[in-house]
Structure 1
């Protein structure tokens, strides 16, 4: 230890035990749900390799606020649990409209549309690069939000199978499918 004090300290790294392992360039956008289930989404997103976690407020989102600091602590714990060397940032809750208004032109957005059914084969035809996954709220997106998403050229709509999944299950399923098709599981 280089310095020790009553309220903190400074450490000096003397040896790197293994190299930094960066996740693929994948963001997860999701509408917060009940506290424990939101915690689950953050934990699993970290374990599965998301590089950024972005809670978004939609018209049908049940939760109107989150504790970003608590979710960031869950992200740190999840990275430690899976021996990750990267802890993704967990953003403050933002309005989906605001996020979409400044969406990067070069980042694909995988919209897990619960109105689609069938096999999630669309990813096998996509290119690698910067991606994000959007998981909607319980009750789905409003008609206005659906129209806005459908009009964006960066959006790729996909089914997560023949059943409508809970939001927390959908997040895990979507990241898993993306990782298998385009991520670092290949």
Structure 2
């Protein structure tokens, strides 16, 4: 599939996208396109909704408060979401925003907060997470918008996984693993559905590590000899997994 044209402004829409459609931009979209970006009638943008591919569209600006988006032609067909789940202990706002955006860029198909013993923040704003997902998709040419799932406890996640998702291997980032080499571990993992689990700043408790290791669908994954912050670990883990077993392979 061709890459997006990064020289053009991209905008996420919730409406159905089809040839000839004319979509009324909402207040925030109009303000951004007309007043912030200074776009006028005839200017072109790319739009997507996560299910109908990417489309070239032309603006019809009536005023500073009114704008329509007229679809011209499809530029990319819809791609399926990447088959990697990203599971993570929530962080505080700014660093959580960063982590969510980078997970989207790195090819996560679904994002799910997981509450652990050392989780720093149990208050999770899913709407804010979804907004960060969309922003990352707009900026990076992603057309398969990752799904944001409801938070769960680690115990609840593992219990449900054993019943319904045991065919999807969980790679959990374990700072207590004896080896530092993630590639050695990943070379023994069969290609297939995967999930990457990153813990909180304080790491998983000993009890949580023992619980994770008790399941045959869980594999501990080291991330080198250095101590990484949780948001850095997210990027590092997804990068090495994509390179060894994912769509970088």
Q: Same fold (TM over 0.5)?
A: yes
- 2: distance between equivalents of 1:78 and 1:105? 30
Question: In structure 1, what is the equivalent of residue 146 of structure 2?
Answer: 88
Q: Does 1:114 align with 2:183?
A: no
Closer/same/farther in 2, CA of residues 6 and 175 from structure 1, 3 Å limit: closer
What is the count of residue pairs matched by the alignment? 186
Question: In structure 2, what is the equivalent of residue 138 of structure 1?
Answer: 201
In 1, are the aligned partners of 2:25 and 2:69 still within 8 Å (CA)? no
- Structure whose alpha-carbon radius of gyration is higher: 2
Out of 145, 158, 167, which is 1:100 matched to? 158
Looking at secondary structure, tell me which structure has more strand per residue: 2
- 1: distance between equivalents of 2:207 and 2:130? 31
Aligned pairs for 1:6-21 (under 5 A) are 15-21=73-79
Closer/same/farther in 2, CA of residues 15 and 39 from structure 1, 3 Å limit: same
TM-score by length of 1: 0.91
Greater mean deviation of Cα atoms: 140-149 or 163-172: 140-149
In 2, are the aligned partners of 1:21 and 1:84 still within 8 Å (CA)? no
- 1: distance between equivalents of 2:25 and 2:185? 55
TM-score by length of 2: 0.69
RMSD over aligned Cα, in angstroms?
Answer: 2.2
- 1: distance between equivalents of 2:158 and 2:227? 24
Q: Does 1:54 align with 2:120?
A: no
- Long gaps (5+) in structure 2: 1-20, 28-67
In 1, are the aligned partners of 2:112 and 2:149 still within 8 Å (CA)? yes
Question: In structure 2, what is the equivalent of residue 171 of structure 1?
Answer: 234
- Long gaps (5+) in structure 1: none
- 2: distance between equivalents of 1:28 and 1:154? 15
Question: In structure 2, what is the equivalent of residue 43 of structure 1?
Answer: 101
Shift of residue 24 of structure 1? Answer: 2.9
- 1: distance between equivalents of 2:132 and 2:203? 26
Shift of residue 176 of structure 1? Answer: 0.1
Shift of residue 21 of structure 1? Answer: 2.6
Shift of residue 5 of structure 1? Answer: 9.4
Shift of residue 130 of structure 1? Answer: 0.7
Question: In structure 1, what is the equivalent of residue 35 of structure 2?
Answer: none
Runs of 4+ in 1 over 4 A off after TM superposition: 1-7, 10-14
